[in-house]
Amino acid sequence: MMRQLLALVMLTLALASPGMAQEEIVADLSQRQVPITADFDGSELILYGAVKRETPISVTEPLSVIITVAGPSNPVTVRRKEKVAGIWINTDAVEIDSAPSFYAISTSRPLNQILSETEDLRYKISIPRAIRSVGAPQAVTDAHEFTNALMRIKAANGTYQARPNTVAFFDQTLFKTAITLPANLTEGTYKVTLYLTRDRHVVTSYSTNLAVEKVGLERFLYRLAHDQPLVYGLLSLFIAIVAGWGASAIFRYFTG
Spans of all domains in the chain: 21-213, 215-256
CATH class of residue range 21-213 = mainly beta
pTM: 0.76
The DSSP output letter for 101 is S
pLDDT tens digits for range 134-161: 766 556 667 778 889 899 999 999 999 9
User: Which percentage of the chain shows pLDDT scores above 70?
Assistant: 75
The Cα–Cα gap between 78 and 147 comes to: 8
Average pLDDT over all residues of the chain: 81
The Cα-based distances of 185 to 35, 160, 229, 247 in angstroms read: 11, 11, 23, 35
pLDDT tens digits for range 114-140: 999 999 999 999 999 999 877 665 566
For residues 105, 48, 19 and 55, what is the CA-based torsion angle, rounded to 10 degrees? 150
